[in-house]
Amino acid sequence: MNRIAVKDSPSRTQPSFRAAEMLHVVVAALFLVVFGAFWANISLPSHPWEASPWLGALFIVLAVATTLVALARQLPAQNVVLAAVLIVVIAGAAETLGALTAIPFGPYVYGGQFGPLLFYPLPWAAPLLWVVAILNSRGVARLIMRPWRKTRAYGFWVIGITTALVVMLDFGLEPFATLVKHYWFWNPTKLALAYYGAPGVNFFGWAVTTLLILAFATPSLISKKHGRQPAAYHPLMVWLLLDLLFASSAATHQLWPAALLCVATGGAVAVFAVRGATW
């Protein structure tokens, strides 16, 4: 009887695996340190020091880095890079179109606090913010849907929940970006509905852009590994830290509806994600 040779999966004791784990720990630790400094500078009512101009940029860079390194523990690195590039390209195009034509987010202009321009009118940090929001929201969605991962509609539910989580983050981001950090400013519109200056169409634009990105990026984010994989809590950590940043900065600046909304959504997301992961 012939025996079919089966290639063993990488061992957790192999040097490449240990190096990847060490890189993940180091990048995550650096992100947490910079997050703490950034949070303290923005959220504490009276901090004894002023942040250097590069602190916000370093925070975004490390948020992207820890997101991609953590995801590369589950997927091939080339898949992770491809997904990130697709997000940057599509989100950058949407942000550029939005700043020039007010489609699909509504009329806004970037302030000088969001970093240098990649090209007019797009700051380099804008598409990177989408990478962090989409990939970590998708990771949280997978935790929430973990008990139903074998169902036929699982993929569609993950896409839908990911979109909802990205829009939830934007509800916290808008007052933070416009009233606290002055990353961008909204021009007046005739629309009756607005949220701290952001027209209601902005959140619809975020949802549509997220769905478009996921339509292209999802194939590279599907794991080919068979069997039950351990729950990945890193996306939930990043998502909740962003929500905490938005909530605490809103409270510090007495933007109480935004602060309460962030607390409520963050608490609900944490409960559903942990429940799904431990089902």
User: Rounded mean pLDDT of 248-256?
Assistant: 95
Residue at 29 is within a domain: no
Count of other CB atoms within 10 angstroms of residue 50: 8
Using CA atoms, how far apart are residues 191 and 176, in angstroms rounded to an integer?
22
pLDDT value at 29 more than 60: yes
User: Rounded mean pLDDT of 23-47?
Assistant: 90
Residue at 249 is within a domain: yes
- Tokens 């942990």 — which residue? 274
Instruction: State the angle between helix axes of 154-175 and 200-221 in degrees (0 to 180), rounded to the nearest 10.
Output: 140
DSSP 178: I
More confident residue, 13 or 223: 223
User: pLDDT band at residue 48, thresholds of 50, 70 and 90?
Assistant: very low
Please give the pLDDT value at position 189. Answer: 84
Residue at 159 is within a domain: yes
Q: Which phi and psi angles does 117 have, rounded to 5°?
A: -85, 135
Residue at 60 is within a domain: no
User: pLDDT band at residue 12, thresholds of 50, 70 and 90?
Assistant: low
Q: What are the DSSP E strand ranges found in 5-131?
A: 108-110, 117-119, 122-123
Using CA atoms, how far apart are residues 204 and 210, in angstroms rounded to an integer?
10
User: Rounded mean pLDDT of 57-84?
Assistant: 97
Q: Which phi and psi angles does 166 have, rounded to 5°?
A: -65, -45
Q: Which phi and psi angles does 205 have, rounded to 5°?
A: -65, -40
Using CA atoms, how far apart are residues 250 and 84, in angstroms rounded to an integer?
29
Q: Over the stretch 151-178, which tens digit does the pLDDT of each residue have?
A: 999 999 999 999 999 999 999 999 999 9
pLDDT value at 49 more than 80: no
Residue at 203 is within a domain: yes
Provide the percentage of residues in the chain whose pLDDT is more than 90. Answer: 80
Indicate the SS3 state at residue 25: helix
User: Rounded mean pLDDT of 86-114?
Assistant: 96
User: Rounded mean pLDDT of 76-101?
Assistant: 97
Residue at 8 is within a domain: no
pTM greater than 0.95:
no
User: Rounded mean pLDDT of 24-35?
Assistant: 97
Domain hosting 232: range is 75-277
Domain count, the chain: 1
Q: Which phi and psi angles does 56 have, rounded to 5°?
A: -65, -40
Taking all residues of the chain, what is their mean pLDDT, rounded to a whole number? 91
Q: Residue 22 corresponds to which tokens in the numbers above? A: 């060490």
- The answer to whether 235 touches 138, Cβ cutoff 8 Å, is yes
CA atoms within 13 A on the CB side of 221: 25
Please give the pLDDT value at position 11. Answer: 52
Q: Residue 153 corresponds to which tokens in the numbers above? A: 């509609």
pLDDT value at 206 more than 90: yes
- Helix-strand-coil split of the chain, %, nearest 5: 65, 5, 25
Please give the pLDDT value at position 59. Answer: 97
User: pLDDT band at residue 86, thresholds of 50, 70 and 90?
Assistant: very high
Residue at 13 is within a domain: no
Residue at 3 is within a domain: no
Please give the pLDDT value at position 3. Answer: 41
Task: Give the residue from 34, 113, 52, 92 showing the smallest Cα distance to 209.
Answer: 92
